[in-house]
Amino acid sequence: MTTRLSLFNSPLLLGFDQFERTLDRIAKNSAEGYPPYNIEQIGDEGLRITLAVAGFTSEDLSVQIEDNQLVIRGRQTDDRSRIYLHRGIAARQFQRSFVLAEGIEVVGASLDNGLLNIDLKRPLPEPKVRTIKIEQPAQAASGAAGPQTIDVAPDRGDA
């Protein structure tokens, strides 16, 4: 049995288990090499992912969002009517995934000269400050000041 060292096992990092799963997914997807892609900044809030998908038509491609993950799939079919003397360009399938941060939206996708462009919008984060009210114990709220004493003298009920 092997023990895996977690980056997020500190008691100060509460609720980061989702990030750990995301990093595992990224590490698994980074081994993929096809198709090649670029990611570029477009303005203050925009991103563009460009994939080189030469030979694919828009009908051969699909772009989907699955649980904060952008998944691009390509599927080509062989043309059985062609007779190849040499075949150096294979019809192939691919799947390329990108994990999206919370709040990133896919604006659109276009295919131009063998390049699939997927435009994303990354809204600028707004600083959030929230004050938490500190509740007073019930004794202090009722106005009783200091500790209270209880008389424990035996009851002398001589009647």
- Amino acid identity of residue 158, one-letter, is D
Does 141 have pLDDT greater than 60? Answer: no
Do the beta carbons of residue 114 and residue 100 sit within 8 Å? no
DSSP string, 50-110: EEE-TT--GGGEEEEE-SSEEEEEE-----TT---SS--S----EEEEEEPPTT-EEEEEE
Reported pTM: 0.62
Q: What is the pLDDT of residues 25-75, one digit of tens each?
A: 656 655 567 899 999 999 889 999 999 998 899 999 999 999 889 999 999
- Looking at residue 111, its pLDDT comes to 97
Q: How many CB atoms lie within 10 A of CB 56?
A: 20
**Whats the size of the chain, residue-wise?**
159
Please, which residues have CB within 8 angstroms of residue 101's CB and are 6 or more apart in sequence? Answer: 68, 122
Token pair 């698994």 is found at 28
Cα–Cα distance, 94 to 32 (Å, whole number): 9
Query: Distance between terminal CA atoms of the chain?
Result: 79
Q: From 3.40.605.10, 2.30.42.10, 3.40.30.10, 2.60.40.790, which CATH number describes the 34-78+88-121 domain? A: 2.60.40.790
Question: In degrees rounded to 5, what are phi and psi of residue 10?
Answer: -75, 140
- Amino acid identity of residue 49, one-letter, is I
Q: What is the pLDDT of residues 85-106, one digit of tens each?
A: 988 877 789 999 998 988 899 9
- Looking at residue 146, its pLDDT comes to 61
Q: How many CB atoms lie within 10 A of CB 116?
A: 22
Higher pLDDT, 83 or 110: 110
Cα–Cα distance, 84 to 43 (Å, whole number): 46
Residue ranges covered by each domain of the chain? 34-78+88-121
Cα–Cα distance, 15 to 37 (Å, whole number): 32
